[in-house]
Amino acid sequence: MSRRTGGTGGTGGPDAGRAGAAGTRGNPPLEIRKTYKIWVGGEFVRSESGRTDPIASRKGRFLANVSRGSRKDLREAVRKARAAQPGWAAKSAYLKGQILYRMAEMLESRAAGFEKTLGDSRGLSPAAARQEVRASIDRLVHYAGWSDKITALLGTVNPVASSYFDFSVPEPMGVVGLVAPEEPDLIGLVSHLAPIIVSGNAAVVLLSQAHPLASLELAEVLATSDLPAGIANLISGHKDELAPHLARHMDVQAIADAGGDRALSQGIAEDAAVNVKRVKRYAVPDYRAESAQGLDFIESFVEIKTTWHPIGA
């Protein structure tokens, strides 16, 4: 994408100054350094803890400060997610698909900024960064198209032996916690978040701890995509601090654990039993591959409801 959008992408790193060639000769304009906020209930907030962590590039260069989300932020996110979820689930599949497609559009329009951030934070080559952003956009488009096919493919009409119309349909589970993969941060997040929300769930996400910048920029994309507030909540911070509280929260129905940390996963799996959470652990070898998308990712976070209705005069 164009250089122009790169400058407005909120990707203020030390290299941002290079884009300001129009500044005073020999004296580039002072860069604006950004503190990234977490995104909870549709609002960008500093963590209530007031804590921040510096994020560095692969080579150790300071990039930005990010808020370190706290247990209280997490609880607030679950509360907002819980409140927003029924309304989101009630929206038509058509509208949900439109909104996911809108996310793809918004990501596309800021592609250059994301490429730069991926380059800065993970040291990706421009080509690799571009590939990851392209794949992320494509993934959103893929799931946008799923919204109004899920029920037809996962639902059944059941031929019972008695005189009833008996059918089973998928419904969202409710609030789903997502422990996002550390790397790749952008396509990894999109690959898990989209299938969770497309069926009508709300998500509370613990972002990549090492590389949260692109994910927090994705929040800016989601915030401008007509996604109702509270349906996706993106929290940066220390996973080992937050994950146990997510796993033990009584108002979270399921967890997608793509964090890839064995000890953390063990704790999550044990704690999840507190309210019989469904836990799906992921180890995705290649997020850009087509095998990292599809109905299976959606199916893990729906419930099947069976309804019996009499047939008679």
Partner 1 sequence: MSTTITTGTPEEKSAAAAVEKIAAERPRIEFGGAWDYSPAPESRDIVRLQKRYGLFIGGRFVPAKSGRVFSTINPATEETLAEVSEGGAADVDLAVKSAEEAYRKRWSKLKPAERGKYIYRIARLLQEKSRELAVLETLNGGKPIKESRDVDLPLAVAHFFYHAGWADKLEYAFPRHRVSPIGVCGQIIPWNFPLLMAAWKIAPALAAGNTVVLKPAETTPLTSLALAEICREADLPPGVVNVVPGAGETGAHLVNHPRVRKIAFTGSTEVGKLIQRALAGTDKRLTLELGGKAANIVFEDAALDQAVEGIVNGIFFNQGHVCCAGSRLLVQESIEDVLLEKLARRIETLRVGDPLDKNTDVGAINSKAQLDKIRELVASGVEEGARLHQSSCALPAKGFFFPPTFFTGVAQSHRIAREEIFGPVLAVMSFRTPDEAIEKANNTPYGLSAGVWTDKGSKVFRITSMMRAGVVWANTFNKFDPASPFGGYKESGFGREGGVHGLKAYVELS
Summarize as ranges the residues that interact with partner 1 (CB under 8 A).
156, 158-162, 164, 166, 168, 171, 173-174, 250, 253, 265-266, 269-270, 272-276, 278, 296, 303-310
Q: Evaluate whether 165 touches 313 at the Cβ level (below 8 Å).
A: no
CB of residue 140 vs partner 1: minimum separation in angstroms?
22
Give the C-alpha distances (Å, rounded to integers) separating 307 from 130, 161, 168. 47, 15, 6
CB of residue 111 vs partner 1: minimum separation in angstroms?
31
CB of residue 149 vs partner 1: minimum separation in angstroms?
13
Nearest CA to 74 out of 219, 225, 182, 179 is that of 179
Q: Which residues contact 262 (CB under 8 A, 6 or more apart)?
A: none
Specify the residue, 218 or 268, whose C-beta has the smaller distance to partner 1. 268
Specify the residue, 152 or 304, whose C-beta has the smaller distance to partner 1. 304
CB of residue 312 vs partner 1: minimum separation in angstroms?
9
Specify the residue, 64 or 272, whose C-beta has the smaller distance to partner 1. 272
Specify the residue, 111 or 272, whose C-beta has the smaller distance to partner 1. 272
CB of residue 273 vs partner 1: minimum separation in angstroms?
4
Q: Which residues contact 168 (CB under 8 A, 6 or more apart)?
A: 155, 156, 158, 304, 305, 306, 307
Specify the residue, 35 or 158, whose C-beta has the smaller distance to partner 1. 158
